[in-house]
A and B are shown apart, each in its own frame.
Chain A
């Protein structure tokens, strides 16, 4: 009787599977891919199709609302100009972003090294953050002149604070036991910073990177609005201003979509970097890489 009730279960390692369900591991790759991109893909096609159909049936003027096909046409007709604008914005955003990483992380390390410095300086960093970038931008143009330098500084300023605050929180959140361990093993402050606090802060730094990377694109475009081209080649912000003044609405849409794609591309690159950095040990990236 007992043998009937207590039958030995089948042992399985690595996966726990409910009866009648297929495993995630056993799912073919195209099925997994479809599960991931299928629903948003279908929604996108329906949205674009609906938009195209609405414009054709309603007879709206293209300068008010261009059809998706008009946007594609405008982009292909102005492909070289669009590419120059995208390339210029990428350059400005990347340089601004790199500057915000170097200075944001650098200042955070400095503040985390001394509570006195943190208490003295951090409130001013918060005050800086509360001033709208559009209010600071004209001053930057006056100081650094119109053009790329000013745009890079605006892109940097917009991404600086998220990098600083996230890194600082990360550096100050080191596990108490780990800090004790380093203290007990006579680690110097520099050793503790390099071997413990910075690695432990990496998930926070990565969170800052994810915020700052998209903000850098926005900062570059806002900078181009205000600082113009300064004798160089105009970026997407400048192209949007020009297209808007000429009522080239389809090209305006193409520029806007390019800016959006640029932000997504930046985010995906930072995401890939985060996975590479953290997937071997941190829960956040482990889950996303498995799911």
Chain B
């Protein structure tokens, strides 16, 4: 008797295309299935449609053709179920709110009672190492701390699907590497959480992901899906291994084709 269980299909794209009203084909016939618990990175040059795919997954933009299923339903219904969370390249913290008020925002918008919001915020701020700064204003935080607060806000609603659109793009290399390790740790703590991560940094993609979707320049298509069969936890030493270099080379080659 087989005990193998098939992971749920969390995001399923079939011949998914997006054509803008001015005729620009941003995404062309993308077929991709993302399973529960994956950490999948979209890598590609600027303008290859990575963010457009994200917009379609979040329901911010509708596909022109093809089908898209998110957690077994349409993108906009999935968003309404509040199982999805987002982190943008910009921290998007409300500057007039303290860190804790920013972090509890998704819960406040859902009408969660104040005490519960407070408890959840403390939990996630502890996870991202910002518990001592919960009464601080965003302007008092460094770039890395702002991004941590932004990640905490995304995690506060215990999402099943976390979408991150170049979240570390504006950070310096040291902060970026630190946050990569912290993000992997947060992802590992919740085996059900699926992370979709957009980046144009090959090293970042290889370090973080279980699978990499390499995209071609416009019109955006998936050139290659590359597995990263390296077990977790991964730490700084992984970046110096021959395996890391080999996968980086494969991704770089796929990008050039």
Q: Which residues of A contact B (CB under 8 A)?
A: 175, 177-178, 180-187, 191, 195-196, 199, 202, 280-282, 286
Q: Is B250 an interface position by the 8 A CB rule? A: no
Task: Output the nearest chain B residue to A175 by Cβ-Cβ distance.
Answer: B92
Contacts A199-B94, A199-B96; A183 near B60 (Cβ below 8 A): yes
Q: Is the CB of B88 within 8 A of A181?
A: yes
Contact B137 A280 (CB under 8 A): yes
Chain A's closest residue to B91 (CB) is A177
CB proximity of B37 to chain A, nearest CB, Å: 22
Instruction: Tell me the complex Cα distance, A236–B58, Å.
Output: 61
Closest beta carbon of chain B to A231's beta carbon, Å: 47
> Quick check: which of B7-15, B76-84, B115-123, B208-216 contacts chain A, the rest being far away?
B76-84
Chain B window 68-89, contacts with chain A (Cβ cutoff 8 Å), 1 for yes, 0 for no: 0000000000011010101010
| Contact present for A196 and B88 (CB under 8 Å) | no
B114 within 8 A of A: no
A191 touching B94 in the complex, CB below 8 Å, given contacts A180-B60, A181-B88: no
Report how far A177 CA is from B84 CA in the complex, Å.
Answer: 17
Asked if A177 and B105 sit within 8 Å, CB to CB, the answer is: no
Give the interface of B toward A (CB within 8 A). Answer: 58-60, 79-80, 82, 84, 86, 88, 90, 92, 94-96, 105-106, 108-110, 137-139
- B148 vs chain A, min Cβ distance (A): 17
Closest to A196 in B: B94
**Closest CB-CB distance, A181 to chain B, in whole Å?**
5
Inter-subunit contact A281/B137 (CB<8 Å): yes
Query: Assuming A177-B92, A202-B96, A280-B137, is B109 touching A187 (CB within 8 A)?
Result: yes
A186/B82 contact (C-beta < 8 A), A177-B88, A180-B60, A181-B88 known: yes
Question: Given A177-B92, A282-B95 in contact, is the A184-B86 Cβ separation under 8 Å?
Answer: yes
Closest to B58 in A: A184
For A177, A178, A184, A286, the residue with the greatest tally of chain B CB atoms inside 10 Å of its CB is A184
In the bound complex, what is the Cα–Cα distance between A186 and B60 (angstroms)? 12
Q: A177-B88, A191-B109, A280-B137 are in contact. Are A184 and B94 (CB under 8 A)?
A: no
Q: How far does the alpha carbon of A184 sit from the alpha carbon of B79 in the complex, in Å?
A: 7
Task: Say how far A280's CB is from chain B's closest CB, in angstroms.
Answer: 6
Nearest residue in B to A202 (C-beta to C-beta)?
B96
Known contacts A196-B94, A202-B96, A282-B95, A186 near B109 by CB under 8 Å: yes
15 contacts between A and B (CB under 8 A): A177-B92, A178-B92, A180-B60, A180-B88, A186-B82, A186-B110, A191-B109, A195-B108, A199-B94, A199-B96, A281-B95, A281-B139, A282-B95, A282-B96, A286-B139
